[in-house]
Copies of this chain bind each other. A is one copy, B any other.
Amino acid sequence: VQKKPGLRTVTILDVARHAKVSTATVSRALTGSRPMSDELRDRVKESARELGYQVNLVGRALRQQRTSTLGLVIPDLENPFFSSLAQRVSRRFGQTQVDVLVASADNDILTERRAVESFLGRQVDAIVVIPSDELDSRKAVGMASEYVPTIQFDRFVPGLAVPFVGVDNAIGMGHVIDHLEREVDTERFPVVFLGGGQSSSSGRERTVTVTGALPDAWVLDGGFSFDWGQQAARKVLESGLKRGTLVAAADIIALGAMSFIVTSGFRVPDDFRIIGFDDVGVSHLAFPTLTTVRQPITDMTNEIHSLVQRGTTDGSLKATSALFAPEWVMRQSSPGAN
């Protein structure tokens, strides 16, 4: 790097000269790729330190044809659920010295495409993508998978032969429905489902499950946002309902609804029961704490990690779906045994 004035880049050649050895030896000393005498290794390392040598990963990548880098494309960094997933993926891969580059599609298909192209150009070893849109992301995801092992996370583009890691929404909503049957008098507290829209696989699946099991529930469909939760709650109150059970397709929706409900003078869970979905990131942004369904993020990131591992070694990646069972999390916004 010679961005700073008067600073010449220090390369292994400089280190080699300083330590009076060959560049090959320097490389081996610094990476530990071959055994060598301790004395020599120390001398080389000392020279490197003295000269302020920093490895140039660009040169290494060109030579090795791999970068130890994963590209992660998420729809929106401002959505705390996604940024939370980003954090967790980074952390998991960091454990094995794989750098995760995070790019936001900014909810824009073109930006998403550019992010994928940039990652491919950077020779990332694999790409993990949370598709921004069920249909329009097809091209971006397809392109990624054409060149490197690619995994869809949290949502998938249907009909694409690209592995998917996500949560089993039927089981998750099943937990909610069980809870309603067991603990809630749905005559007195009628169920309203606050959906996350039909433009993502997760949104659709959650809606389908709920409408299937509770044909009498009132369904309001919107998007995965706090604003939508507020609006939906407003509609509920404007309908004259004084009590009810609000089942949201995501915590962020539940939070919006809860804030509107509480601010309007109703109590949670006494008047309205509120149930979320995800328990990731935003869930601690709630008071009273939110009853929800927890996505097993650790398991999912582990699965992604092992899929990537396999994909980058074998070079093959079967187009399987890994669906993880979410867990019921009983908290304060809903009545229950404990």
Which residues of A are at the interface with B, using a C-beta cutoff of 8 A? 1-5, 7, 52, 54-59, 61-62, 65, 67, 76-78, 80, 83-84, 86-87, 90-91, 94, 99-104, 106, 111, 114, 117-118, 120-123, 125-126, 146-149, 226-227, 230, 255-256, 259-260, 262-263, 268, 281, 284-288, 311-312, 315-316
3 tightest CB-CB pairs across the interface, nearest first?
A: A57-B121, A259-B287, A83-B83
Could you tell me if B77 and A86 are in contact, using CB atoms closer than 8 angstroms? yes
Contacts A7-B147, A147-B54, A281-B78 given; does A106 touch B121 at CB 8 Å? no
Chain copies in the assembly?
2
A120 to chain B, nearest CB (A): 5
A147's contact among B3, B80, B227, B285, by CB below 8 Å, is which?
Answer: B3
Contacts A58-B123, A226-B285 given; does A149 touch B106 at CB 8 Å: no
Contact at A120–B1, with CB atoms within 8 Å? yes
* Contacting residues, chain B, for A114 (C-beta < 8 A): 94
Return the chain B residue nearest A265 by Cβ: B267
Known: A54-B120, A101-B101. 5 other contacts (CB 8 A): A1-B148, A77-B84, A78-B80, A78-B87, A94-B114
Residues of B within 8 A of A149 (CB): 3-4
